[in-house]
Amino acid sequence: MKRLTLLACACAALLATACGGDAGYRTIDGTIVFDEPARAAGQRSVLQLAVDPIPVVRTGFIGLGMRGPGAVERFTHIEGARVAALCDLRPECVEAAQRILGRRGLPRVPGYDGEEGWKALCERDDIDLVYICTPWQNHVEMAVYAMRQGKHVAVEVPAATSLEECWQLVDVAEQTQRHCMMLENCVYDFFELTTLRMAQAGLFGEILHAEGAYIHNLEPFWDYYQGNWRLDFNRTHAGDVYATHGLGPACQLLGIHRGDRMTRLVAMATPSVNGRRLAAEKMGADSFANADQTTTLIGTERGRTILLQHNVYTPRPYDRKYQLVGTDGYANKYPVEGYAFRPAQVADALPDHERLDEHAFIPEAAKEALMARYKHPIVRDIEAKAREVGGHGGMDFIMDYRLVYCLRHGLPLDQDVYDAAEWSCIGALTAASLAHGSMPVAVPDFTRGDWRKVDGYRHAMHTE
């Protein structure tokens, strides 16, 4: 009995470490179930939150190292957006961002640097939106502080790194009734947006399964992360710590927390070989928690499935997977873009649909015609400018454009705080599964039951 008690204590300690301190859990019918705090009195849901229109969205940017400068540049091209303040740990990064404004013929703005400069930025009364591009470990502290100062928040991926942080984002957004949007850009890729519209039109029939991934060998890029923060984070965290690029598009296809929700997951992982070698070479570390390859299977309330992969260590072509399996059709983005349908599904869109073979991708000419017909209205409106301004081929610009568009017109944002929590919690949950020999783990319901109130994912659009 004493041996079993010691083993249980050891497992609990391992789980707490893997999940960033989230140790409040039970095992029910062989599934790890984490505690879900009740919504506090006076706290209101922010599902479909809409606030008063903001004619000019005055934005303060925190973090001007890797992602921040591109965001500043993009905002100078968006109607109704104004760069209002800049902040970075290093003053030279603030000055470099000021030069971006100068090249665009815009005046200098207040700048902040140092360890506490971001707080002063959040406290300004001439800022509507705080845009956070710092290392992951700072996201929640900064987002929470900004919301409590009355600001809306846009925060880079992942928005949080533990279950405790995910709940903190949800609770503070509900308490303050402020927007908290995670800056997941891959949902705005042209193929993903077009496929989503096809799915909404019923071309794939009932969607049964989706796949996503972040497969990107980062070996040439590790040294660009200030203070080696990203490799150091992976050194101490198991699981799929960067799930959102693959998961976000899948969740929109399935209407997660909009008529369905993720309920449980199981994770498996390989040994860390390349990751451990990198940590030894760059940090003198003799251990590495993050596996070279992590694979996760997720189930939903409606019985559908999602498959995720994470691998940033081995030589492989860049791959986000993006697959959709429906009762009447199929979509695939990597390594080859293509669609397959029952011919009757596209009879109205393709005149020679009788020649299609549902066992193979439709011909390229048919694919182009179909994508032109189902081009998403957002892409139709902004595609040329998005490709000109750029940012991952234009999807970064569409992301920022939509954020500003929704705030200017008083519309619900394309991603809400529940998306931020659901997509970010995968890191902690997969770590828990791995720590217990790939035991199933329940996915918390961050909406606290409100996922049933909306039927399907839709982009809000302004009508005159």
DSSP code per residue over 156-220: PSSS-SSHHHHHHHHHHHHHHT--EEE--GGGGSHHHHHHHHHHHTTTT-SEEEEEEEEE---TT
> For 429, phi and psi rounded to 5 degrees?
-70, -40
Query: Which one-letter amino acid corresponds to residue 435?
Result: A
Comparing 56 with 350, the larger pLDDT belongs to 56
Q: Which two tokens stand for residue 258?
A: 């909009």
Q: pLDDT at residue 26 above 50?
A: yes
* Mean predicted confidence (pLDDT) in 317-323: 98
Q: How far apart are CA 136 and CA 49, in angstroms?
A: 25
**Per residue in 151-200, pLDDT tens?**
999 999 999 999 999 999 999 999 999 999 999 999 999 999 999 999 99
Residue 354: what pLDDT? 60
Q: CA 434, 436, 442: angle at the middle one, nearest 5? A: 80
* Mean predicted confidence (pLDDT) in 130-138: 98
**Per residue in 91-128, pLDDT tens?**
999 999 999 999 999 999 999 999 999 999 999 999 99
Residue 1: what pLDDT? 36
